Amino acid sequence: MKPIKTALISVFYKDRLDEIVSLLKQQDVQIYATGGTYDFVKALDEKAKTIESLTGYPSILGGRVKTLHPKVFGGILGRSALESDKTDMQQYEIPMFDLVIVDLYPFEETVRKTDDSKQIIEKIDIGGISLIRAGAKNYADVLIVPSSNYYNELIQLLKDKKAATSLEDRLRFATYAFGISSYYDSTIFNWFNKNQNSDALRICFDQINRLRYGENPHQKGCFYGDLEAVFEKLHGKELSYNNLLDLDAGLNLINEFSEPTFAILKHNNACGLASRETIAQAYTDALAGDPVSAYGGVLVCNRPIDEKTATLIDPLFFEIIVAPDYEQKALDVLFHKKNRIVLRLRDEVFPTKQYKSILNGVLIQDKDLKTEIADDFKTATTTTPLATEIEDLIFANKIVKHTRSNAIVLAKNKQLIASGVGQTSRVDALRQAIDKAKNFGFELAGAVMASDAYFPFADCVEIAHSEGVTAVVQPGGSIRDNDSIDFCNANGMSMVFTGTRHFKH
């Protein structure tokens, strides 16, 4: 154990600092402090020395330079086990710091609040980051506390060990310190590199959510990110790895729709979805799309849940429901099953880049943010789709965009009738969709078909026509597009091209 005799404190956030100072003074620790921190300590009627009394220099350049001095860094980097270091410190009258408490200017918070580059630049910490790195490097002698996030742990340590630290303590805090410094530098780099002048990649997250397991029970799993910024958890068990995948798929899908819409997802794909005048009717028709797959699913909607809708939902066994809000009576209905997860959606903006680890590296791509509207449709056939068919084509195309490839979606009257998901053949995807629609009693006459990619042959439109499908939306672009166009023309079907493929793997 190494007793703390001398401490350096230079912090931006001062919550609970009074308690730390009091515990240090109880053990007669000599405190050196900078500017505002010194004023804070003195206001507590506690003794401290200014950093200027050590360096002989005032804070200069508008506060840009306060601690960058050999007497400060020598006191942090000095090695007690090395006689030559001890000789240097004695010769130059440098105190040995056993504890350094420092935090960093709020760069990330400033970026969120303003686009003013001058304000942002001034929040790039120089002295603080240097103190953190120095203290962490010399963890053999120094306990470095790099953020107010670790004040609770420090306070407990000071109480339990009477202002003494073990090598294990110091190593643990040094690890925290390099985590803080690497995150901070990565955040600054990403701001400077917003125009991608550099090919380097820095992905940084500080917040970890430990999950019960990964995709399967034998796999460990965790989520890095701020889930509380996305939704408020109102009820139920902890979210799982697979829950989060379904939520991500569901929220990205529901964001495509502006009118009252309800979606039910299973394994990241919609098994039911409908847009209606009321959210209660939207749920009823979404469930009708595939009541079997809905069992154990994830429910997502874009309107508040009222008591009527909650009462309709309640008989279904499901994992999660997420909505913008809930009536209190709706919550009373939903809460009576203890494991049911109920989430209130917050207004969070999602990233526009996607990352996936593969082989020995990472794939990066722009998120698929293209959503076609009627003006994007190019009619490829002599028959033009009716206004109601155009609405259904837009509806179906939004769903197929968020469905695993190869994908086919069949829709009618803004209701998902069935989809063929993740098939190696587009014909197989269509046949799967047709079989599901028939199993649940849907009439395909007058339905529309959406495909995530072009038809290399006319077989899909031939099969769809034989079942009563009257309109088709697809990207187009096959060298054999004319085969599908000719069949549609010969049989009175309409087909529009979007020019945009929506593969999803």
Catalytic residue numbers? 137, 267
Residues 380 and 489 sit within 8 Å (Cβ to Cβ)? no
Which residues lie below 8 Å from residue 221, measured CB to CB, with a gap of 6+? 211, 212, 213, 214, 215, 240, 241
Phi and psi angles of residue 351, each rounded to the nearest 5 degrees, phi first: -60, 155
For residue 419, give both structure tokens.
């989809």
Peptide bond into 406 cis (omega under 30): yes
Phi and psi angles of residue 229, each rounded to the nearest 5 degrees, phi first: -75, -20
CA dihedral sign of residues 293, 294, 298, 299: positive
CA-angle at 266, arms to 260 and 271, nearest 5°: 55
Provide long-range contacts, Cβ within 8 A and 24+ apart, for 58-64: 59/34, 59/35, 63/35, 64/126
Question: Alpha-carbon distance 281 to 313, whole Å?
Answer: 11
Pairing of strands 222-224, 261-266: unpaired
Going by C-alpha positions, the residue among 342, 343, 322 that lies closest to residue 333 is 342
Identity of the amino acid at 47:
K
For residue 475, give both structure tokens.
């990207």
Task: Using DSSP, state whether 409 is helix, strand or coil.
Answer: strand
Residues 181 and 129 sit within 8 Å (Cβ to Cβ)? yes
Identity of the amino acid at 488:
C
Which residues lie below 8 Å from residue 248, measured CB to CB, with a gap of 6+? 268
Task: Measure CA of the first residue to CA of the last residue in the chain; give whole Å.
Answer: 55
For residue 374, give both structure tokens.
């009627």
Residues 265 and 250 sit within 8 Å (Cβ to Cβ)? yes
